[in-house]
């Protein structure tokens, strides 16, 4: 039986970006877009009176926006020496 995942195995996907910083930037843009969609859905839910759904979507928005910020922070530190 083959090993399912090994530390030296290449990932099944590969970003088209040219560097690790570009990878983090691409991921951050995806997270930001998802966060914006969650916020828009939350506002629509609130307007329709679905308060609990709106609260849940805001929580998800905050989490997704935080992930985007972390990716951007990591991107800014690529190549720097401490």
Q: Establish if 7 belongs to a structural domain.
A: no
Q: What is the pLDDT of residues 4-62, one digit of tens each?
A: 556 676 666 665 646 777 888 888 899 999 999 999 999 999 999 999 999 999 999 99
Rounded CA-CA distance 81/26 in Å is 23
Q: What is the pLDDT of residues 18-28, one digit of tens each?
A: 677 788 888 88
Domain, as residue range, for 31: 20-77
Q: Establish if 6 belongs to a structural domain.
A: no
Taking CA atoms, 73 is separated from 21, 53, 69, 76, in Å, by 10, 30, 6, 5
Q: Establish if 28 belongs to a structural domain.
A: yes
In the chain, the number of structural domains is 1
Q: Establish if 9 belongs to a structural domain.
A: no
pLDDT band with cut points at 50, 70 and 90 for residue 79: low
Q: Establish if 59 belongs to a structural domain.
A: yes
Distance of alpha carbon 8 from the chain centroid: 25
């Amino acid at each position: 039986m083959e090993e399912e995942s090994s530390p030296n195995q290449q990932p099944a996907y590969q970003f088209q970006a040219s560097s690790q910083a570009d990878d983090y930037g691409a991921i951050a843009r995806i997270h930001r877009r998802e966060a914006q969609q969650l916020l828009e859905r939350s506002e629509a839910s609130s307007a329709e009176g679905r308060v609990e759904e709106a609260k849940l979507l805001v929580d998800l928005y905050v989490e997704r926006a935080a992930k985007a910020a972390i990716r951007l922070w990591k991107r800014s530190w690529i190549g720097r020496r401490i």
